[in-house]
Structure 1
C-alpha cells in the first residue's frame, strides 16, 4: 500500500477507534458485530435497491402513462433514502472493520463501496439538475448509470461476503 493510503488508513482508524471502542465495550454478540452490517446492507441493496431500479425502469418503459407516473414518483421518493442508507451503511462497514481490528483500505470490498457511493452520488446530482433541464441524453445516462451502480453493489456484496468469511 502506498504511503498516502497508509496515512489515510491510519487517520480513519484513529478517528473511528473511540467509537469502535465504545461499541466493543457493549459486549454485543459476535454474530451481531460480524454479520450485522452485511445483513442490513443486504436488505437495503437487494430489496430497496431492486425496487428503486425497477421503478425507475418502469417509469421509463411502461406503456401505461398512469403506471409510468406512479413508478417515477416511487423512484423519486425512495432513491434518496436508498442513497442515505447506503452512505450510513458505508460508515457502519468502516466501523465494523475497525471494531474487528482489520485494515480498512486493503479489501476490494472497501473500494467497490467507495465507487458505488461515488456513482450513486453522481447519479443523484444528475437528477437534482432535473436532467440538465430535461435533456433526454442525461435521463438515459441516469438510467444506465443507476443500473450499473446496482450491479456494482451486487459485486460489492459478493466481495463483502468473501471478506466476512475470511475472518
Structure 2
C-alpha cells in the first residue's frame, strides 16, 4: 500500500537535490500565496459583493462576470499553493499536521470547494438563499485566509 508521507518525502528529496536556496524553500510559498490571497482573494470578494449590491445593472453584470472568471483561478492557485506549502514543510523536515496553518489551509480549501459547488450547480432552485449562503461563505473564507496568513507568518518565523 502507498504510504503518503513516504511519497511526499521522495518528492521532497528530489526537490532538495536541485539545490534550491533555503530562503526560497522557506519563504517562497508565503510570498506567492500572499499575492494570491491579498490581490486575487480581495478582488474576487470585492467583485462578488459589488455584483451583488450594485444598483447599476451594467456594473453588477461586469462585476459578477469578473468574479466568475477569477474565482476558479483563485481556487486553482490556492490548491496548488496548498500543495506547495505542504511540500515546503516536508523539504524543511517539519511536521505537517501539527500546525494551525495546515488546518486553516485545509479548512479553507474545503470552504472554497463547497462554495464552488454551490455556484457550479447553478445555486439550485432557490437562487436567493443559496446566493446568500455563497456570498457569506465566501466572505468567511476570505476572513479565514487572513487568519491562515497570520498562522503562516508565525510558523515561518518559528522555523
TM-score under structure 1 normalisation?
0.92
What are the within-5 Å matches in structure 2 for residues 58-97 of structure 1?
58-97=50-89
On the 8 A contact 1:132/1:138 being kept in 2, the answer is yes
What is the deviation of 1:61? 0.6
Equivalent position of 2:15 in the other structure: 23
Determine if contact 1:127/1:142 at 8 Å carries over to the other structure. Answer: yes
Q: Contact conserved, 1:13 with 1:104, CA < 8 A, in 2?
A: no
Q: Which one of the candidate residues 102, 108, 120 is aligned to 2:112?
A: 120
Matched, 1:107 2:99: yes
Aligned-CA RMSD value: 0.8
- Asked if structure 2 preserves the Cα contact closer than 8 Å seen for 1:49 and 1:82, the reply is yes
Q: Where in structure 2 are there 5+ consecutive unaligned residues?
A: none
The reply to whether residue 44 of structure 1 matches residue 36 of structure 2 is: yes
| Regions of 4+ moved over 3 Å | none
Deviation at 1:69, TM superposition (A): 0.2
Q: Which deviates more from structure 2 when the two are superposed, residues 128-137 or residues 46-55?
A: 128-137
Aligned equivalents of 2:103 and 2:110: distance in 1? Answer: 11
**CA drift at 1:12:** 3.4
Number of equivalent positions:
157
Q: Give structure 1 stretches of 5+ with no counterpart.
A: 1-10
SS at match of 2:124: helix
CA–CA separation in structure 2 for the residues paired with 1:71 and 1:143: 14
SS at match of 2:48: helix
SS at match of 1:133: coil
